[in-house]
Amino acid sequence: MPTVRVLLKHPEQGEKHKIYHDVEARISTTNILHVTRGGGDAIAEFQADAYFYWEYVEYAHGQP
């Protein structure tokens, strides 16, 4: 399964990156980003105003 990187906005701490390995991501009709693993178990959920963007990332062998 792929790796997902989420760029979060934080008013006091600035931008933060979250990386989730072996997951799937989707945006629901209510604009919530859902990061899930396996049989749909939620790993993380983000409201639309909490993140700038998310993407699937492929790392070269040996990278985190």
Q: What are phi and psi of 37, to 5 degrees?
A: -135, 145
The whole-number pLDDT of residue 38 equals 81
Q: How confident is the model at residue 64 (pLDDT cuts 50, 70, 90)?
A: low
Q: What is the pLDDT of residue 63?
A: 55
Mind listing the pLDDT tens digit for each residue in 3-38? 999 999 877 778 889 999 999 999 999 999 999 998
The number of beta carbons lying within 10 Å of the beta carbon of residue 33 is: 19
Give the H or E element holding residue 46. Answer: strand 41-46
pLDDT per position as a tens digit, 46-59: 998 898 889 998 76
pTM: 0.78
